[in-house]
Structure 1
Amino acid sequence: MSGIVVVGSANIDQVFRVERIPSPGETVLSHGLSTALGGKGQNQAVAAARAGAATVFIGAVGDDAFGEQVRSGLSDDGIDVSLLRTVAMPTGTALIAVDGTGENIIIVEPGANGQVTALTSADAAAISEASALVMQLEIPLDTVVEAARIARAAGTRVILNAAPIQELPEALIETLDVLIVNEHEAAELARDNGLDAEPEGVGQRLLALTPTVVVTLGAEGASLHRVGAEPVLVPAHRVTAVDATGAGDTFCGAFAAAVVEGMLPDDALRFAGAAASISVENHGAVPSIPVREAIETRLK
């Protein structure tokens, strides 16, 4: 087995630069608009590929100019797009407002991502032959479960970034090898499964669901939790953030690449944290994702 298969979403991001995030009912003026590749699946696939992993992307785009932009962008990063569908509807689109501190709000129209259904025999073969399957929750949940079951049956490691957070069915939970969530998602998932949702120690409590849990903590870093081991906290690099869009996805993709490469979990966490720290120093989702050399330089 080798490489990573990402099953997930692909969007075009329309990013507005604002002085501050508007309150409900408030209008603010933007001082800049850019269009870039995004979507959690696409972001994580690019992060894995740029971190050095052979990567296949399974998803869907529309039969429009944005769809062609996504396909060519993934190809430019050396990602195998032979299993990327084109469907008769618009490509997924995200409207993002980013303020002067790098904080953001995001509205997503799934578009073609909602058509990532009924995995083909070719999809199943790619998943079965991979070292790891990486998924998120911006495509139909039934497809996520189906892909995870295929991976589990083949012995492919299953890595789920449970975002955007929603209640996970038992059929999915029982397939997971690694769960990656932020603090908010960790609390929601704990609550959904009858666990104590208090932030302190929530990563350890989520081990009731899966053998490895990673909780990303924003500016505080990330914590690693494994059954039978003490938790590990890796502090974040101190940087000046300009845009947090895609930072979590950069972390997930880089972490998956490091794990597939054979890094120890602690080292994979540090590698992913370094990648995420670079991404927040730059604007956009895919445009901000670093290459392997940059990550290694940051680690030094």
Structure 2
Amino acid sequence: MILCVGLATLDLVYRVDRVPGADEKAQASSVEVAAGGPAANAAVTAARLGAPVTLVTAVGAHPLGALIRSDLEAHNVRLIDVAEGSEGLPPISTVIVAGRTGERTIVSRNAGDLTYGVPGRGLPDAELTLVDGHHPVLAVAAAREAERLVVDAGTWRPVFADILPQADVIACSAGFRHPAGFTAPHVIVTHGPGPVTWSHDGRTEEIPVPPVDAVDTAGAGDAFHGALAQALHSGAAVRAAITEAIRVAGVRVRHPGPRTWLDAL
């Protein structure tokens, strides 16, 4: 099993011709609602690729949380909700996708200052664990217990200082900056449409990214991480897993919307 630990949001995804400016209104050509967040999107991707996946996150009992639960269930992701019974709003993101370029603008209120502990029954055993650094108490506990740890290192978070030293694989974008630097057996850096760099055993390789016509880049990194986790879980070597993750991310950006792209895998 793959254990994903981190953020789940309710995403409201609007597609527009162009992102509106200040004091400007825009009519969306489409709107979709789905579960989002790095860990949730990675979990959905890995599950669609055939892995058994459990997501540990905070959703709660608010009516909007039911939309997150429903989407995860529809995509075969088992949910462990550490905020069960909480009536507060779940994390919510508004995603605006520019139809002409596929670029996205995101306004979100993520986990904020809310702190959730490990469930009383503990975390389930897993062959591979993916954490995104959200919900720090959960992230640290999952990292310490992980048999094999993959870290989605998005924006720098202080909790990464405790998590990254335990990682087997760190996957981040070129813009990620650790104040003190970091190492791991495998460090994977994505550069948008540019080649992915893979550092291991004291050397760095470049893995090419085939050109694609991008229509929606929202969640492409999450798809990359989910596919990477699934490939590693299935026994693929790291280079092969990176190549598969590149393929899946390429499928993601070629299709509009948060979920329709899964049908093309």
Structure-2 change in CA distance of 1:234 and 1:254 (3 Å): same
Cα displacement (A) at 1:53: 1.1
Distance 1:158 1:261 in 2: 14
Which SS does the other structure have where 2:55 is aligned? strand
For residues 211-252 of structure 1, give each alpha carbon's deviation from its aligned partner in whole angstroms, at most 9, with x where no partner exists: 111111111142221124x42322222221111000000000
Counterpart of 1:278, as a letter, is: V
Distance 1:158 1:106 in 2: 28
Structure-2 change in CA distance of 1:114 and 1:44 (3 Å): farther
Counterpart of 1:103, as a letter, is: E
- 1:147 corresponds, among 126, 142, 149, to 142
Tell me if 1:290 matches 2:265. no
Q: Contact 2:186–2:200 (CA<8 Å) still a contact in 1? A: yes
TM normalised by structure 2 equals 0.89
Distance 1:83 1:14 in 2: 21
Q: Which has the higher helix share?
A: 1
Aligned residues: 262
Tell me if 1:12 matches 2:10. yes
- Give 1:202's aligned residue: none
Distance 1:169 1:13 in 2: 25
CA-based RMSD of the aligned residues comes to 2.2
Structure-2 change in CA distance of 1:28 and 1:90 (3 Å): same
Identity %: 27
For residues 253-277 of structure 1, give each alpha carbon's deviation from its aligned partner in whole angstroms, at most 9, with x where no partner exists: 0000000110011110111111000
Q: Contact 1:36–1:284 (CA<8 Å) still a contact in 2? A: no
Tell me if 1:136 matches 2:132. yes
Structure-2 change in CA distance of 1:265 and 1:274 (3 Å): same
Structure-2 change in CA distance of 1:233 and 1:28 (3 Å): farther
TM normalised by structure 1 equals 0.80
- Give 1:210's aligned residue: 184
- Give 1:298's aligned residue: none
Which SS does the other structure have where 1:275 is aligned? helix
- Give 1:77's aligned residue: 75
Which SS does the other structure have where 1:73 is aligned? helix
Unaligned segments of structure 2, at least 5 residues: none
Tell me if 1:63 matches 2:36. no
- 1:220 corresponds, among 194, 200, 203, to 194
Counterpart of 2:10, as a letter, is: I
Cα displacement (A) at 1:84: 5.7
- Give 2:27's aligned residue: 30
Which SS does the other structure have where 1:62 is aligned? coil
Show the 5 A alignment for 1:1-300: 3-22=1-20, 25=22, 27-32=24-29, 33-83=31-81, 85-86=83-84, 87-99=86-98, 100-110=100-110, 115=114, 117-124=116-123, 126=124, 129-137=125-133, 139-151=134-146, 156-185=147-176, 188-189=177-178, 192-193=179-180, 195=181, 206=182, 209-228=183-202, 230-285=203-258, 287-290=259-262, 294-295=264-265
For residues 2-33 of structure 1, give each alpha carbon's deviation from its aligned partner in whole angstroms, at most 9, with x where no partner exists: x100111111111222333345x453513333
Distance 1:169 1:69 in 2: 30
